[in-house]
Structures are given as structure tokens and as C-alpha cells.
Amino acid sequence: MVRRSVLFSPGDQPDLMRKAPRAGADVVVFDLEDAVAPGQKDDARQAVSDVLNDPEFAPDCEVCVRVNPAGAGAGADVDAVLADAGASVDSVMLPKAADREDVETLGRLLGEVDAEAPVLALVESAAGVLNAHEIARAGPTDALVFGAEDLSADIGATRTDEGTEVLHAREHVVLAASAAGVDAIDTVYTDIEDTEGLAEETRFAAGLGFDGKMAIHPAQVDPINDAYTPADDEVEWAERVLAAKAEAEEAGRGVFRVDGEMIDAPLVAQAERVVERARAADN
């Protein structure tokens, strides 16, 4: 499953939710947390449920619901939305994941309504970052999602264009996700108008090892997808590597060369990622 672009859509705006899959994102997230005012939570739950249960709503992307934090509304979200529309939901995003127990609590709530779904755990606090490895290893976790804005507020950091104040935490989340074998999704880019800055930021995130990036507006989806789409020469190199690997395995050789370069397991893994991203771009 490829998650290059993860687009949020407010849970209290049915028209936007129905349109969200048309933006071309790999994942659309119906948001019951930050995008919804406290007094509108029940209306938003009903709206999300209505959209998910509509037989005419048939998106060709992953559909995710961001519930409220564990112990602060997640149970009500699960009961009101996932109990009836669980079959229409591919994943659930948990905000403010501070430790492994938060993820396991959500997993238990989902199991109680027979709506077991992989959890995208949003790590956006000092505790969450420090516990990222255990959060990633929790049974329901399928991805770690890094939230720089809330983290900065939590630790009292000042956000800068360079992002040095959150770089250590950002890299830590990638390491934790990789060690646990789950996806790593990068933080939002808040300047909707700055598509060039978004593209540069996304390329940097990809270079750090992130599998995708969150988007807060449909206009951000294409720049994110493009940044995760390999160039033709990268794809050609990757295909040569994988073809040479297959030939080496058939011949019983563990070491082989491509373009004069010795190829080892890390380069094979890199080639596999390139091909996977190229295939996603063609879909």
C-alpha cells in the first residue's frame, strides 16, 4: 500500500468529503478532531457516517477516519462511525498518540465493534516522539505520522522555515517506523500558496526516509505526489538492478554488478522502493 499523499477533509463538511478522493491523494482522511469545533462533533460523526454508508461513495483510494484522542472522544467516534461504516474504512488515524497504550486502546475499541482496521498513529508531542518506537511496535499500528506543529507547541519551540527545531524528532520518527516495519508519514506544510516550497520540503522528507506527506488542501496533492514520483532514469536504474538480482539468484550468485557498481541489499531495497513509487504514480 502506497501512502505518498495523505489529504485531510473536514468531517463536518459532506460536500468536501465526497470531493476529496478526486484530488488524487493516495489516502483521504475524514477528520473528526482538529477540523471540527467541539460543539459540532456529533454532527460531524453523523456526516462522516452518512458519507461512508452512501452506496454511491466508491473512492479508489485509501479511506481513513481521524478520530479524537484516546480517552478524549475516540470511543464516541468509534461507536458513532466505525460501528456502522467500518467496512468502508481502510484505516483509522489516532491523534496525540503518547504511548503504546493509546494505540492498543483504540485497537480494542475497534475490535469491540468488529471494525478492526490498521492505525496511523500521529506522533505530535514530546512523549509521543520519545515513545515512538513502542508506538510503532504496537499491534494495530501500520504507520507513524509526524506532527511538527503540535510538537513545537508542546515543547515551546519556534517554528522556522528551516525546521531545525523539529529535525531531530522528525528523524527519530523515521527511525522508529523503519525499525518496526511500518510507514512514516511526514508533517503538513502550512503555506498552501507556496507549491515550490512544498515540493522542496517533500523531496527533503523523502530523502529522510518518509514514505509520504500529509496535505491540508487538494492543491497540495499533486506537488506531493510529483515529489515522490521517481525520474525516468531512476526507474530505469531500479529495473536494471532488479533484473540483475533475478539473474544472480537464478545463477546462484549472491553478488552482482549494475553499471559497474556492486549491488548489495540496501541498494536492492532502494530499487524496490523506486519501482513501487513509479507504479503508484501510474495508477
For 172-212, what is each residue's pLDDT tens digit?
999 999 999 999 999 999 999 999 999 999 999 999 999 99
Residue 86: per-residue pLDDT:
66
Residue 181: per-residue pLDDT:
94
Which pLDDT tens digits describe the chain residue by residue (283 residues)? Answer: 789 999 999 999 999 999 999 999 999 999 999 889 998 999 999 999 999 999 999 899 999 999 999 888 899 999 999 887 767 899 999 999 999 999 999 999 999 999 889 999 999 999 999 999 999 999 999 999 999 999 999 999 999 988 999 999 999 999 999 999 999 999 999 999 999 999 999 999 999 999 999 999 999 999 999 999 888 888 888 888 888 888 877 777 777 888 878 887 888 888 888 888 788 777 6
Residue 155: per-residue pLDDT:
96
pLDDT tens digits for 205-236?
999 999 999 999 999 999 999 999 888 888 88
Domains and CATH numbers, the chain: 5-227 (3.20.20.60), 232-282 (no CATH)
Residue 61: per-residue pLDDT:
93
> Beta strand 256-258 with 261-263: parallel, antiparallel or unpaired?
antiparallel
